[in-house]
């Protein structure tokens, strides 16, 4: 499958075009700056793509305006008093220097405690917190995956977690493998469930077709609300680059 891309300009908007062995055109607008990307069938000419984008200009500009207004975190330093998120809730970081092993804990005072050795730098503190995030997401995801596999009637052969710059999740239909964005551990649990359902439904319908939307409404009627909520959640500084 080809993944080569080029760019066209439509009404002053730069559009990345990627041609693939697919049947239908797919248009997306992505954070943080509203980048526009089109996945198009291999035989589709640029002029046809241009006309399709023109037909969606109102929607594109609305999405771009939404990202422009979206809250963003400042650069993270992982120091005491800094704000971080976990399962949709805002926490304050407290860095505790000690001689023992590095670890993370949550207190009832909405505080995430980072226990680190004296001299620990930003990179080590970030790694400690993200290792903890990864462990928490890997604890949560299996139960949710099993729940929705049973409801939808599909089985994912494998799943894993990684930090992704442009997607909340992906599904390799041939391998039946699902990837979840590690950033989802910061979001409300129902947003994580929405992404799990989205990726599992791809095992029934590869593309974002009308059938895909119909299946999403069948299994999760409030999915557009969850999608919009996820896109309103604060973006982490520097993690949505292209």
The pLDDT value given to residue 1: 42
3-class secondary-structure state, position 3: coil
Q: Over 50: is that where the pLDDT of 24 sits?
A: yes
**CA-based radius of gyration for the chain:** 20
CA distances to 41, 48, 151, 203, 215 from 200, rounded to whole Å, are 23, 31, 10, 5, 11
The pLDDT value given to residue 242: 24
Give the global pTM. 0.72
Q: Over 70: is that where the pLDDT of 234 sits?
A: no
Q: What domains sit in the chain, N to C, each tagged with a CATH number?
A: 5-69 (no CATH), 83-232 (3.30.2010.10)
Going by C-alpha positions, the residue among 160, 162, 156 that lies closest to residue 175 is 156
Rounded Cα–Cα distance for residues 94 and 107 (Å): 10
Rounded Cα–Cα distance for residues 41 and 189 (Å): 35
Q: What is the pLDDT of residues 64-94, one digit of tens each?
A: 887 666 555 567 899 999 999 999 999 999 9
3-class secondary-structure state, position 161: strand
Backbone angles phi, psi at 139, to 5 degrees: -75, -35
Q: What is the pLDDT of residues 27-61, one digit of tens each?
A: 988 876 788 999 999 899 999 999 999 999 999 99
Q: What string of DSSP letters covers 183-201?
A: GGGGS-HHHHHHHHHHHHH
Burial of 193 (0-12, 13-18, 19+ CB in 10 A): buried
Lowest mean pLDDT among 116-120, 165-169, 190-194: 165-169
3-class secondary-structure state, position 171: strand
Lowest mean pLDDT among 71-75, 156-160, 168-172: 71-75
Residue, of 189 and 208, whose pLDDT is higher: 189
Residue, of 210 and 137, whose pLDDT is higher: 137
Cα-to-chain-centroid distance, residue 182:
8
């Amino acid at each position: 499958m080809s993944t080569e891309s080029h760019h066209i300009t439509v009404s002053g908007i730069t559009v990345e075009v990627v041609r693939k062995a697919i049947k239908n055109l797919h248009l997306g607008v992505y954070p943080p700056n509203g980048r526009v990307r089109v996945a198009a069938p291999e035989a589709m000419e640029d002029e046809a793509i241009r006309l399709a984008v023109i037909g969606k200009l109102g929607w594109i500009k609305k999405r771009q305006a939404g990202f422009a207004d979206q809250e963003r975190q400042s650069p993270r330093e992982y120091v005491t008093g800094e704000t971080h998120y976990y399962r949709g809730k805002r926490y304050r970081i407290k860095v505790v220097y000690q001689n023992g092993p590095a670890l993370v804990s949550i207190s009832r005072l909405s505080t995430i405690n980072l226990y680190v050795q004296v001299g620990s730098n930003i990179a080590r503190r970030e790694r400690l917190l993200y290792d903890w995030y990864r462990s928490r997401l890997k604890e949560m995801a299996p139960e949710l995956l099993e729940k929705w596999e049973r409801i939808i009637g599909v089985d994912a052969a494998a799943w894993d977690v990684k930090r992704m710059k442009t997607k909340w999740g992906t599904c390799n239909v041939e391998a039946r493998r699902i990837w979840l964005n590690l950033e989802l551990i910061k979001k409300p649990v129902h947003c994580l469930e929405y992404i799990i359902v989205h990726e599992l439904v791809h095992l029934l319908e590869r593309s974002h077709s009308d059938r895909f939307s119909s299946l999403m409404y069948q299994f999760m009627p409030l999915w557009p609300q969850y999608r919009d909520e996820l896109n309103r959640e604060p973006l982490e500084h520097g993690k949505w680059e292209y």
